[in-house]
Structure 1
Amino acid sequence: MRQTTVRRVLLVIAVMAAAALLGGCSYVRPDAQHDMIEGFFGVLPVVLTGVFVGLIGTLVGAGGGFILVPILLIAYGFTPQHAIGTSTAVVFLNALSGTFSYMSQERIDYGLGVKFSVVAVPGVVIGAIVSQSFNMVVFSVIFALLLMAVTYTLVFVDEFYLVCSKSQTEPSTRVVYDSAGETHTYSPDMAVGFGGSFLVGILSGLLGVGGGLMHVPLMNFIGIPIHIAAATSHFIIVITSFFGVMIFAGLKTIDLDYTVFLGVGTILGAYYGAKLAMAVHPELIKRVIAVLLLIVSVKLILGII
C-alpha cells in the first residue's frame, strides 16, 4: 500500500513538473547565449551528451549534474543561470527514473526521505535565489573548486563510510527489508542529517547539481547503509529538484528543448552505466572520471582568464 501511494504521489509530481516546464520554460530566452536545437544533427549531439552525463553519473554513484553544468557552460555557451536551471530539470527526470527502479528493490527509507526533504527544500529555494546573481567568473571558480574536491575524493578517499559514535552505541531504530530478502537495521544521527541536508539543499539550488554526490556520503556518514543511502537519496532528489524546477521555470531559466533531449540521453546513459559498472574494476572507473573532472575544472578556470 505504501509503495502504491508513493507511486501515485510521484506521478502527480511528474505531471506538475511537466506542466511547469511547458508553461514556464522558453526555448531560447532573449538573454540566453545559446541557439535553438534544429534538425537531427542538432538533436544527436545533445542526446549523446545526455548519455555521457548519465553514464558518468551512474558510475560515480550520483546524479550527473556535477558534469552536466560545466558541459552546458563550455560546450553550449549557456549562461550560469540557464545551466543551473536546465541541469536541475534534467536531474529531476533522471532521479525520477532512478527512484522507480529503487522502489522495485524496496531500498528506499520513505520516512527519512520525507524528513530530509522538508529540511532541504528551503535550502534549495535560498540557493536558487542566490544563483541569479552569479556572473560567469564567480560561478566558474566555484564550480571548478567543487570538481577539484570531487576529484580529490575519487582519488584519495577509498570509502565514504564513516559511522557516528551515536549510531554505534544506540539501539537500531529503523529497519528496511529489501526485495532481495536482506534486512537493513540502523540508527542514524538525525541532528547531523538535518543540518547536512539543509546545506546540501543550498548547494543543489546554487549549482544545479541535484545533491546526490553530497547526500549519499552524508547519509552514509550518519550511519545509514550505503545501499539504503543511495536509494533514499534518489527519492530526496526527486522532491528537492521538483521545487527547483518550479522556481527556475518561473524565472524562465530552463530550456525545454535541451531538457527533453538531455533527459532522454541521461536515462539511456544511466542504464548502460549500471551495466558497465558491473564489468569494469571500480578503481579504474574512479581514476578515469577523476582525470576527466580535473580537465573540466582546468578548462573552466582557463575560460575566465
Structure 2
Amino acid sequence: MQLYLPIADLPVNIFLILAMGMAVGFVSGMFGIGGGFLMTPLLIFIGITPAVAVASVTGHIAASSFSGALSHWRRRTVDPTLALVLLIGGTVGTFAGVWLFTLLRSYGQLDLTIAISYVVLLSGVGGAMFWESVGAILRARSGKPPTLRRPGAHNWVHGLPLKLRFKRSKIYLSVFPVVAIGVFIGFVGAILGIGGGFILVPLLIYVLRVPTATVIGTSMMLTLVTMTFAIVLHATTNHQVDAVLTLIMMVGGVIGAQFGVRAGQRMPGEQLRLLLGLLILAVGIRFAVELTIRPDELFTVRALEPGS
C-alpha cells in the first residue's frame, strides 16, 4: 500500500515504514534507549533525504520519550536540578545544531556531513561498547569478578570550580561539565536526529559518577525537551518535518516497544550491551560503505533556496 509523503515528496510503502517503526521501537524497549540512531539511517537507506529524515525523526523521539519521562518523574527517578542544568546546555546545543543544519543545507553539504558524522560517531561508540561487553562476558566465564568502579571515586572533573549539590543524585559537582554534556547532546541530536541517550547515559555514569537510579529518568527528560525544541525549530526554520511520516513511525514504535521491554528483561546485561554494540557498529559500517560506493549519478541538480 503506497502512501505519498508531502514533505519528503515521494511515495512509500506504509507497511514498510510501520514495520521499521516497530523494529526500532523493539530495539528501544529492549535496550532502554532512543532509536533515532537507527531510524534515521533506515529512512535514508530507503530513499528519504537526510534533511527530512533527521527533522521527522526528532518528532518520533520526542513522542516516544514522553511516556517514559512521565513515568520516571512519578517514580522520583529524575534529578530535577541535574535535568535543569543539562537542559540549559541542551537548549543552547539544539539551537546551534539547527543553525548549522540550516547552513550546511544551504551550501549543499548536509548529506555528506550527516553520513560522515554517523560513521565516526556510531563506529566509535559501537566499537567501544562491543569491546567492553566482550571483556565482561569473558571475565564472567572465567569466574573473575567484574571490574566495577568504586562508588564515590573521583576524577579530574570533580575538581572543577562552581560546584552545585544535586540532592536527588547525591553528588556535589561543578556545573561546567554538566552544561558541556548538555550542549553536546543537544547539538548532536539536532544535526543527526538522535536522542543521544546511548551517549548521555555512559557519560553521566562513567564521567560524572551519577547513580544509575537517576540516570535513565534524567536522560529521558533531557531527550524529551531537546527533541521537542528541535522539531519546532526544524519545522519553522527548515520546513522539513513530514508529519505523516512521523505519525506512522510513532504508531509502529509504540507497538514494538512493548515487546522489546519484555525481551530485554530476559537477557543478561553483558549480552544486551554486546548486541547493542554490534547493532550500532553495523549501522556505522553501512554508512561507511555508502560513502565508498560510486554513485549511479555523479551530478545532481538542485533548486537554489530563495536569496542564495
Return the TM-score normalized by structure 1: 0.78
User: What pairs up with 1:168-183 in 2 under 5 angstroms?
Assistant: 173-176=165-168
How far apart, CA to CA, are the structure 2 residues paired with 1:88 and 1:116? 18
Aligned to 2:121: 146
How far apart, CA to CA, are the structure 2 residues paired with 1:48 and 1:281? 27
Aligned to 1:136: 111
How far apart, CA to CA, are the structure 2 residues paired with 1:297 and 1:33? 27
1:51 is paired with a residue of what secondary structure? helix
- Is 1:208 the counterpart of 2:193? The answer is yes
1:48–1:101 Cα change, 3 Å: farther
Q: Give the C-alpha shift of residue 244 in structure 1.
A: 0.3
Greater shift after overlay, 212-221 or 155-164? 155-164
Aligned to 2:18: 47
Query: Please, which of 71, 85, 97 is the counterpart of residue 55 of structure 2?
Result: 85
1:202-253 CA-partner distances (Å, limit 9, x unpaired): 1111111122222222222212112201101111111111110111111221
Gap runs ≥5 in structure 1: 1-25, 177-183
8 Å contact from structure 1 (residues 50, 266) kept in 2: yes
Q: How many pairs are equivalent?
A: 265
- Is 1:227 the counterpart of 2:213? The answer is yes
8 Å contact from structure 2 (residues 130, 278) kept in 1: no
Gap runs ≥5 in structure 2: 134-146, 294-308
How far apart, CA to CA, are the structure 1 residues paired with 2:10 and 2:119? 21
8 Å contact from structure 2 (residues 51, 111) kept in 1: no
Root-mean-square deviation over aligned CA pairs: 2.8
Aligned to 1:280: 267
Q: Give the share of equivalent positions with the same residue, in percent.
A: 20
Aligned to 1:28: 6
Aligned to 1:96: 66
Aligned to 1:127: 97
How far apart, CA to CA, are the structure 2 residues paired with 1:125 and 1:192? 19
1:210 is paired with a residue of what secondary structure? coil
2:241 is paired with a residue of what secondary structure? coil
1:222–1:291 Cα change, 3 Å: closer
Counterpart amino acid of residue 82 in structure 2: L
How far apart, CA to CA, are the structure 2 residues paired with 1:289 and 1:119? 27
Greater shift after overlay, 127-136 or 157-166? 157-166
Aligned to 1:292: 279
How far apart, CA to CA, are the structure 2 residues paired with 1:294 and 1:109? 31
Aligned to 2:140: none
Query: Please, which of 55, 60, 67 is the counterpart of residue 31 of structure 2?
Result: 60
1:60-91 CA-partner distances (Å, limit 9, x unpaired): 3321111111111002x111111110111111
1:218–1:284 Cα change, 3 Å: closer
Larger Rg over CA atoms: 2
Q: Give the C-alpha shift of residue 167 in structure 1.
A: 5.2
1:283–1:270 Cα change, 3 Å: same
1:271–1:188 Cα change, 3 Å: farther
1:149-178 CA-partner distances (Å, limit 9, x unpaired): 12112212359979544659xx993333xx
Query: Please, which of 214, 223, 228 is the counterpart of residue 242 of structure 1?
Result: 228
Greater shift after overlay, 238-247 or 218-227? 218-227
